């Protein structure tokens, strides 16, 4: 039994949900970023799987989207981590529950 497209999609859905779990249930800002990066990786896996299993995979569209997505994710990780450091310098905490200055 060779893996079908559905199996790949289920694996990437699992990875996405694990990333969602990390992003929703952790309180440390860096963990939330890790969760977001995992969700992006799961989406990339989806794109590549669809590209591979499509009838006309001569156009590498899925591959191109994945490459650009990786570049953008790296930029987002850099800026996100810079923000975490800046917030830590000001508030001395990385617990996102305690960043509630704007709460009404």
Partner 1 sequence: MSTAAFVVIAILTLAAAVAAATLQKLMHAALSFAVAFVGVAAFFFLLGAEFVGLVLVFVYIGAVAVLIVFTILLTRRDLGKDRSFNWSGVVVAIAVFGGLVWAIFKTQMLSVAAPQIQPLTVKRIGAVLMTDYVWPLQCVGLLLTAALIGALILVMEEKNSKS
In the range 9-48, which residues lie near partner 1 by CB under 8 A?
9-11, 13-28, 30-31, 33-35, 37-38, 41, 44-45, 48
φ/ψ of 28, rounded to 5, equals -85, 135
**Is 64 an interacting residue with respect to partner 1 (CB under 8 A)?**
yes
Give the separation between CA 29 and CA 93, rounded to whole angstroms: 9
Of 72 and 104, CB closest to partner 1: 72
Interface with partner 1, residue 74, by CB under 8 A? yes
* Nearest distance, CB of residue 81 and partner 1, angstroms: 5
> Among 36, 52, 98, 99, which residue sits at the site for partner 1 (rule: CB under 8 A)?
52
Q: Is residue 91 part of the contact set for partner 1 (CB under 8 A)?
A: no
The CB density around residue 68, as the number of other CB atoms within 10 Å, is 11
What whole-number distance in Å separates Cα of residue 12 and Cα of residue 17?
9
- The whole-angstrom separation of Cα 4 and Cα 30 is 35
């Amino acid at each position: 039994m060779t893996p079908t497209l559905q199996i790949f999609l289920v694996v990437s859905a699992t990875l996405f949900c694990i990333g969602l779990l990390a992003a929703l249930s952790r309180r440390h800002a860096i963990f939330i970023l890790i969760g977001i990066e995992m969700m992006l990786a799961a989406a990339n896996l989806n794109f590549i799987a669809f590209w591979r299993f499509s009838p006309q995979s001569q156009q590498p569209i899925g591959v191109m989207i994945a490459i650009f997505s990786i570049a953008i994710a790296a930029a987002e990780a850099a800026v996100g981590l810079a923000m975490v450091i800046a917030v830590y310098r000001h508030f001395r905490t990385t617990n996102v529950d305690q960043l509630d200055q704007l709460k009404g």
